[in-house]
Chain A
Amino acid sequence: MPTSTDLLQGTLDLLILQTLLPGPMHGWGVALRIQQISKDVLQIGQGSLYPALYRLEYKGWIKAEWGNSENNRRAKFYRLTAAGRRQLDSERETWDRLSAAIGLVLGRTVEAPR
């Protein structure tokens, strides 16, 4: 069974923003989707998912609206705002740079013993 990976600080925001990009979704949906897409590697603890959603909402990157879920239950849907989209772009860029840099460093340490 794959263990859940500790998320880097701030990475959760990026994941949530990216998940909301196709369209509005409720909290449960966000958690489920991240888990599915990452093939169960990333399991968002609900205790940190909702605070993160609230934080993003307070920052104005996402907007919450009440709507009806697939099984006709009242649920809160989160939608990406224009500011959130910009934020997503800049965070993706940061992430790309960071992961590329880490890749470079790891590549070098692998080569070293040779």
Chain B
Amino acid sequence: MIGELLTRIRFLIFHKRRGELDEELRFHLEQSIAVKVGEGMPAAEARRQALVEFGGVDAAREECVRQSPGWWLGTVAQDLRYAVRGILAHRWFSAAIITTLATGIGLNTMVFTLVNAVLYKPVPVPGGDRLVCIDNHSLAQSDRSGPLSYPDFQDYRAQTASFESFEATSDEGGILSESGNPPHRYHVARATAGLFSMVHTNALLGRGFLPSDDHAGAEPVLVLSYDVWQERYAGMASVIGRQVRVGGDAATIIGVMPKGFRFPSGVDLWMPLTPTADLAKRDNRQLRGYAILKPGVTMRQANAELNGIAGRLAGQFPADKDLGVRVLTFQERFNGGNIRIVFLLMLAAVGFVLLIACADVANMMLSRALSRQRQMSIRTALGATRWRLIRQLLIESVTLSTVGGCSGYGPGRGGHSLVRSIDPDHPALLDRVHDGLYGVWLLCRSVHFERTAVRHCASAALIEARSGRGSERRRA
């Protein structure tokens, strides 16, 4: 009901005046007394009986106030004010807790952000979670991954049905030279023409590759990364169409990719992979395959299909004997093996740090709660409900952990920029990695942890207070 909602909101904002309620209750009592006097009762006795009939006036008044929607907001605000005053009053105690929490949460946020970026986060392009890498590996000897040969890649691509697109790049160095500019060595990727469209990235300036660019005899073209464009050509738009030489071969600059785009890993210059006699050899393996899985196709299915194709090729060509294919996620390809173990160990280590921090904080809160038994017993005696006492403790610890968690955000951010400065070309950090969500989750976790502790000490305090031991011990 909209009307009901509006009424509630109106009363939430404009509280009833206390005087109105008192006047109403007084009117009721007077009527009651008047009736009794009318029946022939003496005034004093009528008044006494009316009051007895009414029950506790104060209780009724309180109950009326309690009917108002949101009356508890006021008491929460009260608890919050009290909590802030408590934090300020016990400055050192609070500082110790906040520092402990900030260290634990900050370290965890930092490491988790890194681990998430390096090991789990999909490459930030459309369909990035379906992006896979395809490598060869020898079935006979070691388990090491190796690159593909051009003919094998073409056979895989022609025969497989698992991928939306399937492209390959070489990974080489090349010297860029032209008249009027000193030659410089760059990281060059020779790629099949569909590489940019596979990751749905268009050129910032000019164009990417056309499908015909990687055909034999096509005009040699070159695409620059944003950094090369800025550093070598000072961001001039006129760079498009310029004739340059890469490793001695002429090429025309046709485009500039957007800032931060270095796909697949730290690439400065892209050129089309045009077939050559050298490339056509089946045992010349220097390509890495990248593909987008079709929706619904699992990595396992793709793996099985590719290995079937590889098995047939092994029967046909002696060069492909004992050659297997492996489909890996992008993260497995670039951050597999030892890096993965190191990162997971780091995560486990800081996880324990957080556990220790939480245990410390819980201990400190417990010791403080014990010293407050007297306060709790007095409040219980005055009629505070158990929930009210627990809520106050809860609000105090939530306030503390919120401050701690917010202070932990700084180290978390710091760690991220640290890693970026160490390895800015790292493929996993293509975008700005930052994961505030995890911080929130951690916060909840620590709050939850403390809540358990607080609940324990609250009930302990209550039991002690009720049996009166808390105060006796003080006297003794």
Contact = CB atoms under 8 A, between A and B. Distances in A.
B56 A76 contact: no
Interface string B68-82: 110000000000000
Given A58-B68, A76-B20, A46 B54 contact: yes
Contact of A60 (B7, B28, B54): B7
B69 A58 contact: yes
B64 A76 contact: no
Given A51-B63, A54-B68, A74 B23 contact: yes
Contacts, number: 72
Contacts of A75: 24, 27
Nearest to A27: B28
B59 A47 contact: yes
Contact of A47 (B1, B4, B11, B63): B63
Interface of A: 26-28, 31, 45-48, 50-51, 54-55, 58-60, 69, 71, 73-76, 81-83
A50 B27 CA distance: 12
Contacts of A48: 63
Contact of B64 (A28, A51, A73): A51
Contact of B7 (A31, A47, A54, A58): A58
21 contacts: A26-B24, A27-B27, A28-B31, A31-B28, A46-B28, A47-B54, A50-B25, A50-B60, A51-B60, A51-B66, A54-B16, A54-B67, A55-B67, A58-B8, A60-B3, A60-B7, A74-B27, A75-B24, A76-B24, A76-B27, A83-B4
Interface residues of B, number: 31
Contacts of B278: none
Q: Which 5 A-B pairs have the closest CB atoms?
A: A60-B7, A47-B55, A51-B63, A54-B67, A28-B31
A55 B23 CA distance: 18
B53 interface: yes
